[in-house]
Amino acid sequence: MPKISSKGLQMPQSPIRKLVPFAEDAKKRGVQVFHLNIGQPDIKTPDIALNAVKNVNLEVLAYARSEGSETYRKKLVSYYKKNQINITANDIVVTTGGSEALLFTIGSITDYGDEIIIPEPFYANYNGFSTANGVTVKPIISSIDTGFALPNITAFEKAITPKTKAIIICNPGNPTGYLYTKEEIQKLKEIVLKHDIFLIADEVYREFVYDGLEHYSVMQEKALSQHAILIDSVSKRYSMCGARIGCVVSKNKNLIATVLKYAQARLSPPTYALIASEAALDTPQSYFTDVIEEYEERRNTLIRELLKIDGVKVPKPKGAFYCIAELPIKDSDHFAQWILEEFNDNNQTVMVAPASGFYSTKGSGKNQVRIAYVLKKEDLIRAVAILKSALEVYTSQI
């Protein structure tokens, strides 16, 4: 029988999606499942984006430019300028989602056997994208006790080898909700410049910042003009996960030229999604004001309810719409499956993402889960009540 590649066999399962069959089975049994496992916002997509697709008059649904339409990239330049990021349209390659942006970026800067340093826990697919490119992830563990702040810079120094090509951060963070400060970005800047490597910043949650704090982008550091790579997406910003439009942004012309070759090989991003994404850039600020207020209230509700459960530890996230919670259990993978297969409370249960899949250090995160607060406040309250009941039953049995 033909063999699957070792690279393919090493590809990790998604901790977010691997439990879907168990959730579907629960639903078939008539059990309502509260999805706390995936960052699919329930916020309505802006009408301006939906209407742009509904009203477009195309006779031929043609290829777009490989780097994305010029009109979209020019409008992106204006968007970034409002966020104190000064670039040109030639510094942007539009991709099929932020995922493709990461794949193209890692492919452009690494060779087989190279290494990338990532503070963990981190977005699970960073592992998958690295594995797909034959790259080794060197994790630096951040602690739940510090709210997952940037680890000590000496830990990065110790991890750097001649094979190190980049450091990746997610800011604000998925799965932790941590928001890196300007001072932390500047600490990373110093080490990146010292070792002449790239700093890749996944900033798809830029708008989702709470408590009056402000987001600080790696692209705002002028000294990083040749080292900073920004990964972005419309998915969360405009509640357009299905559009699959992202981009790579960098002032490093060699990097952008290389990413463009990858983009040309896959031909083009989807035309209708480009139309919707371009229109979405005209979304009024009031939309974001309302969305941020809603998410901040949801965050406060979730954290308040979680802290009512004995043995739960959870830092208050400063951005995005996720948190990592430590539960009074030993194996969150087993618990997450058990709560779907064997437990219900008045015919209702919850789906969480085991946090071990957000670590690459073996054995880490085994008593943690990632929770996405993308449900209405009353649903979050009910979901945490179910989680509390489930933990009481589970811990009495295991």
Give the pLDDT confidence of 51-74 residue by residue, as tens digits. 999 999 999 999 999 999 999 999
Which amino acid would we find at residue 21?
A: P
Tell me the domain boundaries of the chain.
6-44+286-397, 47-280
Once rounded to an integer, what is the mean pLDDT over residues 193-201? 98
Residue 363 has pLDDT above 80, yes or no: yes
How far from chain centre, in Å, is Cα 216? 17
Residue 398 — pLDDT band, cuts 50, 70, 90? confident
Task: Please say whether the beta carbons of 163 and 194 come within 8 A.
Answer: no
The CATH class for the domain spanning 6-44+286-397 reads alpha beta
Q: Mean pLDDT across the chain, nearest whole number?
A: 96
What percent of the chain is modeled with pLDDT above 70? 100
- Other beta carbons less than 10 A from residue 46's beta carbon: 23
User: What pLDDT sits at residue 7?
Assistant: 85
Choices 3.40.50.1980, 3.40.50.2000, 3.20.20.80, 3.40.640.10: CATH for 47-280: 3.40.640.10
User: What pLDDT sits at residue 41?
Assistant: 87
319: DSSP letter: B
Task: Please say whether the beta carbons of 121 and 358 come within 8 A.
Answer: yes
Residue 16 has pLDDT above 80, yes or no: no
137 to 13, 116, 160, 330: CA distances (angstroms)? 16, 5, 11, 25
User: What pLDDT sits at residue 343?
Assistant: 97
User: What pLDDT sits at residue 238?
Assistant: 97
H-state helical runs in the chain: 6-10, 20-28, 47-55, 70-82, 97-109, 125-132, 153-159, 182-195, 253-265, 271-280, 285-306, 332-341, 377-397
Once rounded to an integer, what is the mean pLDDT over residues 190-200? 98
User: What pLDDT sits at residue 208?
Assistant: 97
User: What pLDDT sits at residue 48?
Assistant: 98
Once rounded to an integer, what is the mean pLDDT over residues 77-96? 98
Q: pLDDT tens for residues 339-349?
A: 999 999 999 99
Q: pLDDT tens for residues 256-287?
A: 999 999 999 999 999 999 999 999 999 999 99
Length of the chain, please? 398
The Cα–Cα gap between 335 and 193 comes to 43
User: What pLDDT sits at residue 284?
Assistant: 96
Once rounded to an integer, what is the mean pLDDT over residues 366-374? 97
Residue 15 has pLDDT above 90, yes or no: no
